[in-house]
Amino acid sequence: MRVFLALILLWLAFLSFATTYSIELAVETDGTFVGKALVCTSVEPGQRELLFRLYPNAFGPFVKLTEAWSGEAPLHMDSVEPTVWVIHLPEGGTQTATIQLRFEGRLPKELLGYGIFAQTSFTMTLSQFYPILAPWDGEWRVYPAFPFGDNVVAEVADYTVELTLPADFLPVGSGEENFRSGKWRISGEKLREFGLVLVRGYESLSSVWQEIPLRVFFPPSLRPAAEKAIKVTQEALDIYTEKLGDFPYPDLDMVIVPLASAGGVEYPRLILIGEKYALNPESEIFAEIVAHELAHQWWYGEVGVDQVREPWLDEALATYTSSLYFEAKGKLQEKVVEWRYRYERAKRLNPAATVGSALWEFPSGQGYSGYVYAGGALFLHETRELLGDALFFSALRSFREKFRWRLAQGAELLELFSEINPEVASLVRKYFGKD
C-alpha cells in the first residue's frame, strides 16, 4: 500500500512539474562554451515537435544547436529563425518526451542589449545560454525577439547543471551550488529559467533573513554597495512578505556586474545589479533597482507572465510592490508623481498604445516603460485607493496563490479587482481602453 501511495505522489508531482533539465556545460577562458542538455517534458497525444528558444541569437549568431537525439535515434531539427529551433519527435511517442541536445556558443565581448549575455574582464554573464523549451497551451507561445523589454516566456522546470570552468572562476546561479571532483553542480526546483554568472576576483557578503540565506558577490571596490543591497533586501522582505506572503525560494543571490541598458535584471533566486549604479549605493535609484528586482521573485519567478504579450503584468506589479519599500520611508507620493509624469509622456509619444499593449505595439520601444511600468503602477495605486488596503492586498495574495508556478493572465487580475468593486471597471477603461 505504501509503495502504491508513493507512486501516486510521484505521478502527481510529475503532472505538476513535468519538465526537467539536466545540463552539462564546459566554459573556456575565452568565453566559448559547449554543452549538452537532457530535457524531459510532457507532450500531448499526437504532438510531433518541440520548440526551443535560443534567446542570445536575437543579437547575433552566438549559440547553435548542433545535434538532437532521443535514445539512440537522431532527431531532425530546423531553425525557423535565429532564436527558434524545432525538434521533430519520433513517431509513436508516449506522454513524455526525453531528448538530448548538444549546443555550442561564444560570449560577445561587448555589452549588447541589457548586457546579460557577455564577457568582461572579471565576469561571464550567461543568461539563457541553453535551449529553453517554449510553452505549449494548445499552440506554441513563440514570438519574434524584440530589442527592448523582456523576451523570455517559459514554464517552470527543475534544473540540474554541472559546470566545468576555468580554475579562477566562481559560478553564481539559480540554485544550490556544490563543488565535487573538479566540477560545480547547481540544482534548483520550480525555476522559470536558469540564471548563471561566472565571476573572478570577486568578494562575497552573506546574511540571513528569517532563515533565508542572502549573498552578494561584488568587485572589492564596491563593498559599500553590497552592504546597502543586503540592507535594502532585508527591509523590503519585511514589507513584501507582510503584504504578499512568504518568500517563494529557499535563498537569494545578488551579483554586481557590468550591464548596458538595464539597472538590474531578475532571475529565479538570482538578481543582477548594474555596476554603474553600484558606484553610488546611497542613491535612491540603487535602492529602487534592488527593491524592484526583488519584487520580481514573486511577479515573474513564482507567478509567471507572458512578458511579450502582457509585459505590464509583472512589471507593473514589481514596480508597485517595490514602491511599498519607499512608502515605508514616506516617499510613496513622490513615486506617484514620477509615474504620472512618465505615463503622460508615454501617451504623447505613442497615443495608440495602452498599459495592456504587447511589445509589438511599442515601435522602437516608444512609450514602453511609461505605459508598462509607470502607467501600470498608477492603475494599481488607484485600484488600491478604491478598494482599500485590506481588499487590495488580499486580492494580490489570491492572484498569487491561483497562479503560483503557472503562467498568469492579466485579465484574471482585472476581473478579480472588478469582482471586489465594480467601480474598478472605470479604471480598466482609463488605463487599458476596454471594459
Q: What is the pLDDT of residues 244-260, one digit of tens each?
A: 999 999 999 999 999 99
pLDDT at 432: 98
Tally Cβ neighbours within 10 Å of residue 192. Answer: 25
Q: Would residue 249 count as lying in a domain?
A: yes
- Distance separating alpha carbons of residues 228 and 280, to the nearest angstrom: 10
Report the pLDDT value the prediction gives residue 45, as an integer from 0 to 100: 84
Residue 211 and residue 157 share a domain: no
**Ordered strands of the 203-209 beta sheet:** 203-209, 212-218, 252-257, 270-274, 264-267
State the Cα–Cα distance between residues 104 and 57, nearest whole angstrom.
Answer: 12
Predicted local confidence at residue 298, as pLDDT = 99
pTM of this structure: 0.94
Pair 56, 83 in one domain: yes
The rounded distance, in Å, linking the Cα atoms of 338 and 279 is 23
pLDDT for res 104: 99
Q: Write down which residue in 294, 327, 354 finishes a domain.
A: 294
**Final residue of a structural domain among 201, 219, 234:** 201
Instruction: Count the domains in the chain.
Output: 3
Residues 87 and 122 in one domain: yes
**Tell me, what's the pLDDT at 90?**
86
CATH assignment at residue 344: 1.10.390.10
- Residue finishing a domain among 255, 273, 294: 294
Q: Is residue 171 part of a domain?
A: yes
212 found inside a domain = yes
**Which range of residues forms the domain containing residue 360?**
303-435
By the 8 A CB rule, do 258 and 123 touch? Answer: yes
pLDDT of residue 435: 45
What local confidence, expressed as pLDDT, does residue 287 receive?
Answer: 99
Q: Is residue 12 part of a domain?
A: no
Please identify every stretch of the chain with a pLDDT value under 50, giving residue numbers as ranges.
1-17, 435
- 432 with 354, same domain: the answer is yes
Question: How far is the C-alpha of 169 from the C-alpha of 23, rounded, in Å?
Answer: 19
Same structural domain for residues 343 and 394? yes
Looking at the fold, whether 56 and 121 belong to one and the same domain comes out as yes
